[in-house]
Amino acid sequence: MNVNRLKEIREDNDLFQKDIAKILNITQQQYSEYELGIRVIPLEKINILADYYKTSIDYLVGKTDERKPYPKSILK
């Protein structure tokens, strides 16, 4: 997990840790531990953040530098 990316995208959106913690339904302390790399962020929380920031999970975890989300697949 690219913990620097979590802080970077949060700050780029002029948000505080408490704001994101509220979105994730966790405490600010828990979110702080995600950003510091002390606690592993669950996939369900990463998915919520990707949707909130309108980006991909790959961007949040550092697998790509492309912020745009992947196009929705027409296959179901």
For the segment 3-46, what is each residue's pLDDT rounded down to a tens digit?
799 999 999 999 999 999 999 999 999 999 999 999 999 999 99
Question: Has residue 75 got a pLDDT over 70?
Answer: no
- What is the pLDDT, as a whole number, of residue 31? 97
- For the segment 56-72, the average pLDDT, to the nearest whole number, is 87
The token pair that represents 28 in the structure block: 């600010």
Q: What does the alpha-carbon distance between residue 8 and residue 27 come to, in Å, rounded to a whole number?
A: 19
- For the segment 48-54, the average pLDDT, to the nearest whole number, is 96
Question: Has residue 57 got a pLDDT over 90?
Answer: yes
Domain of residue 44, residue span: 3-61
Cα distances (Å, whole numbers) of residue 50 to 43, 55, 56, 69: 10, 5, 5, 8
- What is the pLDDT, as a whole number, of residue 76? 52
User: Could you tell me the CATH number of the domain that includes residue 37?
Assistant: 1.10.260.40
Instruction: Indicate whether 17 belongs to any domain.
Output: yes
Instruction: Indicate whether 23 belongs to any domain.
Output: yes
Instruction: Indicate whether 56 belongs to any domain.
Output: yes
Instruction: Indicate whether 76 belongs to any domain.
Output: no
Domain count of the fold of the chain: 1
